[in-house]
Amino acid sequence: MALPKIDLPIFELELPSTGEKVKYRPFTVKEEKILLVAQESKDAQQEILATKQVVNNCLIDKDISNLAMFDLEYVLLILRSRSVDNTMTFNVRDPDTKESVTLELDIENIQLVKDKDHTNKIKINEEYTLFLRYPSIDQYIDISNMDATDPLVNYYIMVSCLDNVASEDEIHYFKDYKPEEVDAFMEGVTGEVVKHIQTFFETMPRLRHELKYKNKEGKEQTFVIEGMRTFFM
């Protein structure tokens, strides 16, 4: 006789980038093992891949390939809170005394920081507006595999966020065009447009929380927790 299959509860959450409601199940021992293996690897790319696999396993009827990175981080946060508990304990090294400090984090205190001036719309001229999209996790993986000293890395990151350019009468999606056509378009935009694209990246929503503590010399310190690296410390 086969062992019984455990039915898992189904919950719902809202994706920060779009407000879309998606269903999910808590992660199980299988997903915990995936995260533990990635944690032991101390490899950023393995951590990203583990996050992708866990979120893909737990979201129901949702394609995660185009999820923004901060959406993925947020979902992982919710999964951790629902599947284990709200509290995480980890050790950090004080920058002044070099002592090991144990900190406790309540996951529910981590906030998604949103810049009030953040926008995905850039006015090119009186006729056309450029619309940007958030890079997906697969694009982050591609970026992590690139040579950080290569000057074209920043260009690739910039081009990866292009969604469409539109006027009142027409709309052009960049995915429908060849790379050389996109390059030709980018060569024709002004430095001011490029500056706005850079601002789009700098002001993207992000998970962030500050933990304050006093070191052994009595000095108050602040440890900043940001993004999915929290789960792999």
Report strand pairing: 87-93 vs 11-14.
unpaired
- Answer whether residue 107 is part of any domain: yes
Which has more pLDDT, 208 or 195?
A: 195
Same domain for 136 and 87? Answer: no
CA distances from 168 to 124, 126, 129, 165, 172 (A): 13, 10, 9, 11, 12
Contact 104, 88 (CB under 8 A): yes
Residues 102 and 216 in one domain: yes
Q: Is the domain of 212 the same as that of 134?
A: no
The number of domains in the chain is: 2
The answer on 77 and 51 residing in a single domain is: yes
**What average pLDDT does this structure show over 63-90?**
84
Please give the Cα distance from 172 to 185 (Å, whole number).
Answer: 11
Q: E-assigned strands of the chain?
A: 11-14, 21-24, 59-60, 87-93, 100-106, 111-113, 121-123, 129-132, 162-166, 171-173, 206-214, 220-226
The answer to whether residue 118 is domain-embedded is no
Same domain, 56 and 145: no
Q: Are residues 80 and 52 in the same domain?
A: yes
Residue 30 counted as domain residue: yes
Statement to judge: residues 225 and 170 lie in one domain: no
- Quick one: DSSP state of residue 174? G
Share of the chain above pLDDT 70, in %: 97
CA atoms of 137 and 49, how far apart (whole Å): 9
pLDDT at 189: 92
User: How many CA atoms within 13 Å lie on the side-chain side of 179?
Assistant: 3
107 and 31 in a common domain: yes
For residues 182 and 217, state if they share a domain.
no
Question: Band of the pLDDT at 228, cuts 50, 70, 90?
Answer: low
Q: 209 and 101: one domain?
A: yes
Predicted pLDDT of residue 231: 55
**Whole-model pTM?**
0.77
In a domain, 200, yes or no: no
Give me the domain span that covers residue 168: 125-191
CB atoms within 10 A of CB 200: 20
Phi, psi of 146 (to 5 degrees): -85, 155
